[in-house]
Structure 1
Amino acid sequence: MELGYIRWDVSPELFSLGPLTIRWYGLLFALGFLIGFYFMTKIFEREKKSIEDLNQLFYHVIIGTIIGARLGHCLFYDPEYYLSNPFEILKIWHGGLASHGGVMGIVIGVYLYSRQRPGQDLTWVLDRLTIPAMLGASFIRLGNLFNSEILGNPTDVPWAVIFVRIDMLPRHPAQLYEAIIYALIFLFLLYAYWT
């Protein structure tokens, strides 16, 4: 029996333009990067760091995130398939990113960036990058909600969500819990940085 649970049957696709499909996940992923870049610009300006250095950091973070998230998905979740079909790893448009792989990719990207840019200490960069990364993580978890991914355990709490495309069990909206926690951490870190 369904009580007043929230029914979630939203398409993961926002719209299509011919063969190109724009998905909520991709849009939120990109927004996380753009808003993160905005906050990092303010941080670099406040600390009188070069915007050219920030641009290079941004490239390293984007490339590190995408490569790390893709390899994380392929090697953690289905290594036999991807090691047997290595060219499938390149087909990122087929989906499959892992946030823990993305984090590892960011750390490697920032490490390479700090080695190439004099005066850009690894810990300094990671400390500041953590602030917008929390907001980006929040956006990504909202993307997981649109994909009906990262489901919580079945429950009977009043705010339970039924993910219609997956099953008809009322579940904890684990993606929303994480999105809220990441957003709160972002606000705390932002406040701590600016005060």
Structure 2
Amino acid sequence: MLQYPEIDPIALALGPIKIHWYGVMYLIGFAGAWWLGKRRAARLGWSDEQVSDLIFYGAMGVVLGGRFGYVFFYNFDRFLAEPLWLFKVWEGGMSFHGGLLGVILAMFFFAKKVNASIFTVTDFIAPMVPIGLGAGRLGNFIGGELWGRPTDLPWGMVFPHVDQLARHPSQLYQFALEGVALFVILNWLDQRRPARFVVSGVFLLCYGSFRFLMEFARQPDAHLGFIAFDWLTMGQLLSLPMLLLGLTLVIWGQRQQITDGKPSA
């Protein structure tokens, strides 16, 4: 049995200004995506300016979509009782699935701007996303949030701010799958220049599968519990459309002619 290493969630304090590790992880995610995008840009025909604009659009989609998704998917009752809570971002609360919808919408507007197919854009950005996902899960672990269900496995971890039960360190499981494994899979695939739609589809398939699986180790949200069957969680329910869409895109992509994925200037 392991003990949670009580980490100060504040990375840096400058007088009244406090910088939390979770915010630092967001910056690492965006900076890492920008770095990888710049490395891949020349090979795929993108300009540095397009990459920078893409990261800006993506960041707006993540932040706005993540917040709206958390409020509407997980805390809609509270929103109805207290509508202004939507804007109290300092209290925390972000949703990956909401962030994904926000990014898709942002990519739609970006694709219109550069006169490219939205799938050209999503195929380009998908291999960069796991950097942010992995960093975010580390932020969850440092913040001691989104802990796992009780377990008797030898690596079970006690989160003393929760209780004295050994629990799955599910944040680290998700870091390994959604961050490391997904990064390796997508960048390996990207190097092989698959048909359009395939990289986007594999991202949705892999993330949806990983998230669905990890929900069995992660403690369900206390105010939601199980949605159905005494095992289905909200995270799993929201992952099902990702699996269906991902499979559709992979099949669709395999029927298309191989594309070089270059956006218009």
Fold match (TM-score > 0.5)? yes
Aligned counterparts of 2:150 and 2:98: Cα–Cα separation in 1:
27
- 1:139-178 aligned within 5 A: 139-178=135-174
**Equivalent of 2:131 in 115, 129, 135:** 135
| Unpaired runs of at least 5, structure 1 | none
**Aligned 8 A contact 1:134 1:185 in 2:** yes
**Equivalent of 2:117 in 105, 116, 121:** 121
Aligned counterparts of 1:61 and 1:29: Cα–Cα separation in 2:
12
- Counterpart of 2:137, as a letter, is R
**Aligned 8 A contact 1:9 1:165 in 2:** no
**Equivalent of 1:94 in 87, 91, 96:** 91
**1:8 aligns to what SS in structure 2?**
coil
| Cα offset, 1:81, TM superposition | 2.4
Aligned counterparts of 2:57 and 2:4: Cα–Cα separation in 1:
39
**Equivalent of 1:30 in 27, 30, 42:** 27
**Aligned 8 A contact 2:33 2:55 in 1:** no
- Counterpart of 1:149, as a letter, is E
Of 137-146 and 81-90, deviating more is: 81-90
Corresponding position of 1:48: 45
Corresponding position of 1:70: 67
Aligned counterparts of 1:157 and 1:8: Cα–Cα separation in 2:
18
Deviation per CA, 1:38-61: give whole Å up to 9, x if none: 111112221122222222211210
**Equivalent of 1:11 in 8, 13, 35:** 8
Aligned counterparts of 1:158 and 1:93: Cα–Cα separation in 2:
36
Ranked by relative contact order (alpha carbons within 8 Å, sequence separation 6 or more), the top structure is 1
**1:15 aligns to what SS in structure 2?**
strand
1:63–1:7 CA distance, 2 compared to 1 (3 A) = closer
Deviation per CA, 1:157-180: give whole Å up to 9, x if none: 111111111111101111101100
| Unpaired runs of at least 5, structure 2 | 193-265
Corresponding position of 1:180: 176
- Counterpart of 2:155, as a letter, is W
Aligned counterparts of 2:161 and 2:24: Cα–Cα separation in 1:
21
**Equivalent of 1:79 in 76, 80, 91:** 76
- Counterpart of 1:89, as a letter, is L
Does residue 190 of structure 1 match 2:149? no
| Cα offset, 1:21, TM superposition | 1.3
Of 51-60 and 100-109, deviating more is: 51-60
Aligned counterparts of 1:164 and 1:123: Cα–Cα separation in 2:
45
- Counterpart of 1:173, as a letter, is P
TM-score, normalised to structure 2, is 0.68
Aligned counterparts of 1:22 and 1:122: Cα–Cα separation in 2:
35
Q: Displaced runs of 4+ in structure 1, greater than 4 A?
A: none
Aligned counterparts of 1:121 and 1:110: Cα–Cα separation in 2:
10
